[in-house]
Amino acid sequence: MFNEYLSILVAIIVAVGIAELLWLCSHFIGPKHRTREKLMPYECGNDTEGTYDVRFPIRFFLLAILFLLFDVALVLLYPWVIQFKHMDWTGLLVALPLLGVIGLGLFYVIRKGALQWQ
């Protein structure tokens, strides 16, 4: 049984070894010309303005979390949608609880006004 996984283990070891070797070569052999301009943060080709501790409104984070939640739910529904033609009513009954939770979550989010952008 170990022989089946030996080739995968060897491939992983070789890949990690090559990555480390390339990183070490670039670190020790590569040029290091540190100038003031190279050490400045780069943002879209523009000079940075203001401080680094800009506070974003909580709505940005709330919207990102909602996107992740609904995105994961849709990923869970994808295999069900692909096999929908080959299922009978039991396929719909199996997916109904997940569809209900997604629907309730969307109703709650709309009701709380989380999707209202002011």
29 vs 86, higher pLDDT: 29
- For 17-62, what is each residue's pLDDT tens digit? 999 999 999 989 988 888 887 777 776 766 667 776 777 777 788 8
Report the pLDDT averaged over residues 5-21.
Answer: 95
Half-sphere exposure of residue 46, counting CA atoms within 13 Å on the CB side?
Answer: 4
- For 91-111, what is each residue's pLDDT tens digit? 888 888 888 988 898 888 888
pTM value is 0.47
pLDDT band at 78 (very low <50, low <70, confident <90, very high): confident
pLDDT band at 8 (very low <50, low <70, confident <90, very high): very high
Per domain, the residue ranges of the chain are: 2-47+55-112
CB 73 within 8 Å of CB 102: yes
User: Rounded to an integer, what distance in angstroms lies between the CA atom of residue 99 and that of residue 9?
Assistant: 41
Largest separation between any pair of C-alpha atoms in the chain = 68
Paired tokens of 89: 């009513």
Domain 2-47+55-112, architecture per CATH:
Up-down Bundle (1.20)
pLDDT band at 115 (very low <50, low <70, confident <90, very high): confident
- Check residue 35 and give its pLDDT: 87
Q: For residue 103, give Cα distances in angstroms to 16, 30, 95, 100, 107.
A: 44, 55, 12, 5, 6
Paired tokens of 87: 């299922």
Query: For residue 100, how many other CB atoms are within 10 A of its CB?
Result: 10
Query: Alpha helices, DSSP H only, in 30-57?
Result: 36-39
